[in-house]
Each structure stands twice: as structure tokens, then as C-alpha cells.
Structure 1
Amino acid sequence: MLRNALWQGMVAGLVGTAVMTVGEKLEQRLSGRPDSHVPARTLERLMGLPERPRRQPRALNLAMHYGQGALLGILRSLMAQVGLRGAWASTMFSMVRLTNDQILENATGVGAPPTTWPRGELAVDLLHKTVYGFATGAVSDALAAREGMGPGQRHAAIRPGRHHGVGPAPRPARV
């Protein structure tokens, strides 16, 4: 399960990041919002690289953007492997994606807490992270579904709904 979660998650995360990036570029064309260089600035600080405020480090921006998306995709894939699938799981994961950004950006001093942002910027960021979360989730869920139900789904199938006194699903036979 873990090995599949690794490769499937990286694939799903890269697809989710690509979908999010396309959405961001479309939104920027419509809104006139400039590119954000926060991912690059965050990576510079995490890696201890020299900062050059007048330079727009596109390669670092892409490395952070796609690298973070691929690595977080592993978590969403693991969710799908254990049976956390669908819109509810993708909603939970979207918040993880946003939280990860905020931890790194605030820890490095590159970003500020979202509660201090203009509401429009916050809405745009939430939209893009949700697009990433659902796109990554769709790919993760589809790849995990090829292997059948996850343990959580097998447990839920014992007696649909949440009921008192339903024990865990039987362990799968060892091969």
C-alpha cells in the first residue's frame, strides 16, 4: 500500500498542480493579478539561498510549486489507499494543502497569516488550493480504486452508517 501511495501520490500531486496552475493562469488573465513569487522566496529561505529581491526566480518558483504539490500528493494518495475517497476526503485534503503553505510561508517570514490578507486574495488562494485538492483527489481515488476497497471502506461495508458495537473489519489474509 505504501509503495503504491508514493508513486501514485506523486503522479496525482503533479497532475493536481498542473490543473491548479492552468486555473491560476486563466484567473490571472481575467483579474490582472501578477504572478506570485512567494513559493520561490519561501524555498530560498528554506534552503538558505541568497535572496535577490529584484530578481524573479522562475525556476525556484516552479520547483517549489510542483515539488510541494507532488510531495503532498503522497498524503492524498495514502488517504485514498486506506479508503478516504471522494469529495469529503478532497475537502479535508484541500485544507491540508493550504495549511502546509501557511506553515512554510509564515515560518520563513515570507508570508503573513491569511486572517491579515485582503478578502479577495484569500478567496482566490482558497479557490486555487481547492482546485488542487480536488484534482489531486480525483487522480488518487481513481488509481486507488484499481486495487479495490481500502480498509476503511471494508469496515464501512460491514454495516453501512456509523453504528455502536461494530468491530473492525477482519484482517486480510497474508500472502
Structure 2
Amino acid sequence: MAQAGLRGPVASGMFTVVRLTTDQILENATGAGAPPQTWPRAELAVDVLHKGVYGFVTGAVADALAARNGPGPGQRHAALSPGRRSDIGPVPRREAWAAR
């Protein structure tokens, strides 16, 4: 996500939601865990807190590593014109990761 240009706290929040969802799907599908609504509230709070910290720390590290390569294609596309514009197409593929 960070390499494609989705960076910052919002992207880290999206990653955290994906991480929590994937964890619950895999635990319930394999029978290794119980549905979250059956957990004691304190245990649920600790689990969500730990995964939230993991998601935001991972996001910060990924953002720092991706920033070493400069802005991603999504960020360069957004810089073409401020605001939401339907007449601005994506950055051409040949230029998406061209030397900057």
C-alpha cells in the first residue's frame, strides 16, 4: 500500500482493519478460535489494541521505506491537479516507476 502511494495514518488504519478481519476469518475457518462476540471484553480489548499497535507500527515502517523511493504513482497522480477531477487520467504505466 505504501509503495503504491497509500501512506499515513488512514492507510495504516485500513491495513489494521484488513489484519483484524483476516485474523478472524482464518481463526474461525480453521476452528482455532471463537467468534469475537463470545470473548471476554478485556481479552477482546487487548487483542484489538495489540493488532492496532502492530498495524500502525508496520504502517510507519512501510511508509518510511517507501518514502525512500519518492512519491508513488498514486501520489504523483494526485499532484497533477488538486481536488477530485474526472478529466485527469492515471499516470501512464511506463512513467509510473520511471526514474525521478
TM-score norm. by structure 1 comes to 0.51
Tell me how far 1:132 sits from its aligned partner.
0.3
The RMSD of aligned alpha carbons is: 1.8
Picking from 68, 82, 102, the partner of 2:4 is 82
Structure 1: which 5+ runs fail to align? 1-78
8 Å Cα contact 1:85/1:141 also seen in 2: yes
Structure 1 segment 50-129 matched on structure 2, within 5 A: 79-129=1-51
Higher relative contact order (CA 8 A, sep 6+): 2
The equivalent of 1:156 in structure 2 is 78
TM-score norm. by structure 2 comes to 0.85
One-letter amino acid of the counterpart of residue 79, structure 2: A
Q: Which runs of 4+ in 1 moved over 3 A?
A: none
Aligned residues with identical type, % of pairs: 73
Give the Cα–Cα distance (whole angstroms) in 2 for the partners of residues 100 and 170 of structure 1.
33
One-letter amino acid of the counterpart of residue 113, structure 1: P
Structure 2: which 5+ runs fail to align? none
Q: Which has the higher helix share?
A: 1
Give the Cα–Cα distance (whole angstroms) in 2 for the partners of residues 114 and 160 of structure 1.
42
Is 1:165 the equivalent of 2:87?
yes
Tell me how far 1:118 sits from its aligned partner.
2.4
Give the Cα–Cα distance (whole angstroms) in 1 for the partners of residues 8 and 33 of structure 2.
31
Secondary structure of the equivalent of 1:162?
coil
Give the Cα–Cα distance (whole angstroms) in 1 for the partners of residues 39 and 87 of structure 2.
47
User: Alignment length, in residue pairs?
Assistant: 97
Tell me how far 1:124 sits from its aligned partner.
1.5
Tell me how far 1:105 sits from its aligned partner.
1.1
One-letter amino acid of the counterpart of residue 133, structure 1: G
Secondary structure of the equivalent of 1:85?
coil
Shifted more, 95-104 versus 160-169: the winner is: 160-169
Give the Cα–Cα distance (whole angstroms) in 1 for the partners of residues 59 and 53 of structure 2.
10
